[in-house]
Every structure is written in C-alpha cells, then in structure tokens.
Amino acid sequence: MNVIALEGCTPEPLLFYLKSLGLLRLLAEQRDAAARSCWRQGIFWIRTSLDRSELLRFLIDEYQPTPLVACWNGGSGFYKTDRQEGIQAIEQSSTPRL
C-alpha cells in the first residue's frame, strides 16, 4: 500500500473538505475499494494500492463522472420546452466516460 499526501485537500474551507471526501469516494468506487484516508496536520492522506502516478492517471484517464441529472433544470430533457444543447452534447459524445 502507498500513502500519498494531497496538500491541496485540507479540512478547511468546507469546499476543500468535500473535495477530499469526493476523491476518496471515487477512488474507492471505481479503482481501489481498499483505499483509506485521514487528515494529519491539515493535510489529506490516502492509503491506496496505487502510487502517485497511477492515481493521477486514474483521475485524468479513467475516472468516470457520477451520473447526475437535475430534472428541475431547463435542459435536462425531461420536458418538451427544455433547452437541449447540454443533453445533446452528452448524447452525441463518443467519450466512453459520458
């Protein structure tokens, strides 16, 4: 197991805290179910089977965004009068991650 310090992920402000938890969730769901984390001296640490370069490669090349549709937003495609640009861009994309 590798222990990687992520200096840009801190417990404050709240946005950085949430970023840290989101990163751990994605890593555990999509690549390394055994990943663990903690904060030490204001820095987020991840224990994972990936080394730093593999973690970066996962985030750049393999990470798949969590599916999200906000049906109350115009453009979601749920209503006839919705803007369609956003949903059409996703539908027409050849990117496997979308």
pLDDT digits (tens, 9 = 90+) for 38-71: 999 999 999 999 999 999 999 999 998 877 666 6
pLDDT of residue 75: 64
pLDDT of residue 86: 74
Q: What percentage of residues in the chain have a pLDDT greater than 90? A: 63
pLDDT of residue 33: 97
Instruction: Between 96 and 47, name the one with better pLDDT.
Output: 47
Q: Determine the Cα–Cα distance for residues 78 and 47; give it in Å rounded to an integer.
A: 41
pLDDT of residue 74: 65
* Contact call for residues 23 and 6 (beta carbons, < 8 A): yes
Give the mean model confidence (pLDDT) for residues 14-22.
96
- CA 71, 27, 7, 98 dihedral sign is negative
* Contact call for residues 36 and 46 (beta carbons, < 8 A): yes
CA dist 51 to 13, 23, 35, 37, 86, Å? Answer: 27, 15, 12, 14, 36
Judged by phi (left if over 0) then psi (alpha if -120 to 50, else beta), residue 16 lies in: alpha
Beta strands in 41-80 (DSSP E): 43-48
Strand partners, 46: 4, 37
